[in-house]
Amino acid sequence: MVTAVRYLGPNWYASVMGTAALATAGAALGVGGIHELLVGVWALSLLQLLALLAARALHWAHHCDQARAHLLDPAMAPFYGCLSMALLAVGGGTLALGRDWIGEPAAVALDAVLFAAGTAVGLAAAVAVPYLMAVRHRVEPGQATPVWLLPLVAPMVAAALGPRLVPHLPAGQPRETLLLACFAMFGLSLLATLLMLPLVFARLVTGGPLPLTLTPTLFLVLGPLGQSTTAVGTFADVAPGVVPAPYDGGFGLLAVLYGVPVMGFALLWLALAVSHLVRARRQGMRFTMTWWAFTFPVGTCVTGAAALGRHTGLAVYDWLAVGLYFLLVVGWVAAASGTVRGLLGGALLTGPRAVPVGPLPVTGRTASDAVR
């Protein structure tokens, strides 16, 4: 077991995120008849999280040289944001679904613990990873990929899920403080994403398509878009009675005036990502762990569209959420089946293989196992 986890990187937390998103996005649809199934999916995500935390603890205890190598690898270090988002995603599902299994008091306590831990890790990653990129990684503009967004979007996940704990705090300043802290993390993540996203788009336009193994990471751009739309919708749900007028109504305006155009851009990017994916599949793209990018980011768009449906009253957003959830299910099945086959065959826990991270004509490579 100790040897098997040597190459187990933080990118594996993406599988937890994807499974939790499958559960919570389904709950956001409010479709009857599948609630018990969604509770089971959430329970699976919790078991995945516990198993991975244990395996990663073994990794750090017995293979600290490889763990340090991951931090110094520009292709792997951004995935440390996935630990934060896995904790937060499972915690968010605890209140939405887990209460039916463990009861509301235990669900609130577990969500509070996971939210606190996930937020702390996410804020640390949002600072540490860009710092390492600047002083240790020596990256080039042609190496920019959507993976760079991962540590920056983690605080946005905290911003979207934290307000669910607001009603469980004492009335007054505790509730307002948590809500405005989540709003601050929304701004932190949004502005950081706006700084990083032009680098990713410029790399895509000027450097040509991403290597086949990295093509699924284009879906990661949907994460900050869908999650920020979800966040403003959640702020508007919670704000009445928590922040004074007229600010409570301002959150309702923000949910629509921000969410509608951002969801429009998310759909544009989804079309672009799908086009690149079709091209990559035609050229022989095979399964790697990057396929989990098909899950959590799409799940955030499901919850974002559902939030717009609540705040605009337009049925078109409800139908959009259903359509996106269908894509999420397809993506989860593809990623989960590929992961199971890779684990049973042993391919996913072997040593790294070289993969390109720059434009196709460039011969530079990285030793990262981030795409396994």
Query: Six-digit token pair at 112?
Result: 């509070």
* Spatial separation of the C-alpha atoms in residues 148 and 139, rounded to whole Å: 11
The tens digit of pLDDT for each residue in 62-120 reads: 778 787 888 888 888 999 999 999 999 999 999 999 998 899 999 999 999 999 999 99
Largest CA distance in the chain: 59
Tokens 């994916």 appear where?
Answer: 277
Q: Which two tokens stand for residue 343?
A: 């684990």
Q: Which two tokens stand for residue 292?
A: 């989990």
According to DSSP, the β-strands at 365-366 and 355-356 are antiparallel
Q: What is the pLDDT of residue 104?
A: 92
How far is residue 57's CA from residue 319's CA, in Å, rounded to a whole number?
42
pLDDT value, residue 2: 65
Mean of the per-residue pLDDT values for the chain? 90
- pLDDT tens digits, residue range 179-232? 999 999 999 999 999 999 999 999 999 988 999 999 999 999 999 999 999 999
Concatenating the DSSP letter of every residue in 42-82 gives: HHHHHHHHHHHHHHHHHHHHH-HHHHHHHHT-TTTGGGHHH
- Percent of the chain whose pLDDT exceeds 90: 75
Q: What is the amino acid identity at position 241?
A: G
Distance CA 93, CA 21 (A): 8
3-state SS, residue 240 = strand
Mean pLDDT of 233-259: 95
Residue 256, both tokens:
């629509």
Question: What is the per-residue pLDDT for 352?
Answer: 54
Residues 6+ apart with CB under 8 A from 75: 147, 355, 357, 366, 368, 370, 371
pTM summary value: 0.91
